[in-house]
Structure formats: C-alpha cells, structure tokens
Amino acid sequence: MVDYIGVSDIQRLVQRLGAGAFMERLAGEIEADYRRWSEFEKSARLASHSKVGVIELMPTSDGRLYSFKYVNGHPKNTAAGLLTVTAFGVLADVDTGYPLLLSELTVTTALRTAAMSALAAKWLARRDSAVMALIGNGAQSEFQAIAFCRMLGIRALRLYDVDGAATAKLERNLRALPEFAAVTLVRCRSTAEACKGADIVTTVTADKKNAVIMTPPMVSAGMHINAVGGDCPGKTELHGDILRMPGARVIVEYEPQSRIEGEIQQLEPEFPVTEFAALLGGAATGRSSDADITIFDSVGFALQDYSALRFLHALLHEERGSHRKIDLVPQLEDPKDLYGGTIGSGKRARLRLTG
C-alpha cells in the first residue's frame, strides 16, 4: 500500500501548522536540500507545449529517494472555471523502485513556490526590507504574501492586477488572517505605482506571452525583484534591460532550465548568472551592498518538489492515527506470479485483492 495525500489531506496538514509556519518549515527543508546540490540528478523539465498551455514532468533523485511532478500551465482555464495550474507527484524508494507517496501538488506547488521565493529573498533582499509590491493578484498571490510577511517581516503590501476583482479577492483573503491585522494593504492603479517605495517587487502574472510588467524606470537602487510568473519559453515579465542594469545580480535555480524558460531567455547565452546553490555553498555572493539590485529569476525546479514531497511524507507520519493509503502496487504472495496474484481466478488471488 502506498501513502496518499489528497486535497483534503493537504488542507489538514497545513491547517495543523498554519500556512505561514508550514511554508517556513518547508523553506528550511528546501534550503537543506540545496546545500547538498551536488548529490542530485539535475535536468531541465520535460515540457509538452500546445497553443493554449504546457504539460511538464519534473524528475530528480539524490540516489536514495526519487521524485517527479506532473504539472500543467493553462492561463485560459479560468474562463472555463478551471485552475490555471494543477499538479501531482510521486516520491519513491530508489533501492526497490517502489512508490512511497502519491500526493496532490496543486496546493503544494503554490506553497513551495512561495517558500522558495521568501527563502531566496532572505539571501538577496536588504535586511531592512519592509514594503513589497505584489503584481499579479491571482491564485499564487496569497501564498507569496503570507510567506514574505512571515519570513521577512514585510509590513506593507502594494497590490496591483489588471483585474480589479483579483485584487479585491486577495485583500479579502488577507484581511481574514489575524497576522495581517498590522499589515498595510494598498491598492494601486498601475505597476509603476505599486513599485514606488517598494523594497521588494514580486511579479506573479499568468499570461503566456513575453509581457513587459516592469521596465527600468520602475526599478530603484537596492530593490529585490522576485520574478515568478515567467516560467516557460515565450513567457516573461521583465523588460530585458532590467537584467542588464548596472549593479544588477541575477540569481537562478538551475541555469540550463532558466536559459530556456526564465527571464534570461531574453538575453545572450553568455550573460552571467548565479545559481542559488552557489550562494548557499559560499561559491558566489548575491548582494554586496544596499544599493545592489538583485533579481531572483524563478521558474521552479524539481529539487523544490522533491523537498516538498519529502516534507509531506514526514508530516504524514508525525500524525497520530492512520492516514490514507491506496493499492497502487500489487501485494503478491509470489512476486513471480503477477497474473495469478491479481486477475487470475482462485481463492489466493481473491484474498490478495481484498486484503
């Protein structure tokens, strides 16, 4: 039997800890795994693109555990009452090849994306950062807001979306949280207005196109930009000249993948970037002064999903009482008799199927 986490289970696990604490603990697990970067198999995700979206597989392994995530991105889905992003994943034992966990990753992807964003900002943003612009107020926005307020102490959020209803939704959801009672929420009329006075700017829009959400005049000295929405070929948010600005430092998760999918797909192949793991290992520096402009070009990487699945599996086994399991793999009295132990007739097959 294989451990199983569905949507109701992730709701229970997050509610038990609180969303902010959950993401903070998850960020710690992600950081721990990035610190052993050399142990992981790394590859750009396998993507199947269509005119309306993308379906991707994201695998990795450290030689002991193997994980993969299935994830889609279809920006027009919301018009049909469907989610833009859905996902599920598997954690498996390398020694036997047996799956250990089958889990939803739709909610978890939002949690791990925000956890990674805040973790990167802890390493890259100015320590006195208190104001964040949140541009794109859709499905990811609450998670980003909660993670940044919890992990970086953000005290003011400047909100903008082309859809005013999305901003109203975000403000309503955040106002319902006790921890946001002392956080100032400001609705802005444009991206430029949102960026004014912001120490950190998070862009998390959904349109599948080379958009220009931010331009160089919106960037101020010392700003940290958390560019989340550009995550596939032909989908970016930042004007390319922002990446080339004097004093700007671009940090990526896994360079070969980011060259294909990230903001840096706009730039020449030799343009210098730094992988996040190099910061943790001391091989590179992010911010050298309060005047530096730092850019986290985030597309999402398989290691983060590995960390999330490993964390979920551990949380599941912390709980008292039974948790859900599914018969994803046959349990046979004779492992060489797959037919007789499953669909074959006879008492033994029936017992194994029902027991």
Q: State the residue for tokens 């943003």.
A: 125
Tell me, yes or no, if 199 is annotated catalytic: no
**Structure tokens belonging to residue 78:** 């919301």
Distance CA(282)–CA(273), nearest Å, equals 15
225, 203 contact by CB (below 8 A)? yes
Give the list of residues 6+ apart from residue 287 with CB closer than 8 angstroms, or none.
124, 125, 126, 224, 249, 294
Q: How many CB atoms lie within 10 A of CB 130?
A: 15
87, 70 contact by CB (below 8 A)? yes
**Structure tokens belonging to residue 313:** 């599996």
Strands 2-5 and 325-326: antiparallel
Report the run of H or E that residue 313 belongs to, with start and end.
Answer: helix 302-318
111, 22 contact by CB (below 8 A)? yes
234, 209 contact by CB (below 8 A)? yes
C-alpha torsion angle, residues 344, 346, 347, 352 (rounded to 10):
0
276, 241 contact by CB (below 8 A)? no
Distance CA(297)–CA(209), nearest Å, equals 16
Pick the catalytic residue from 3, 33, 62, 231. 231
Enzyme catalytic residues: 231
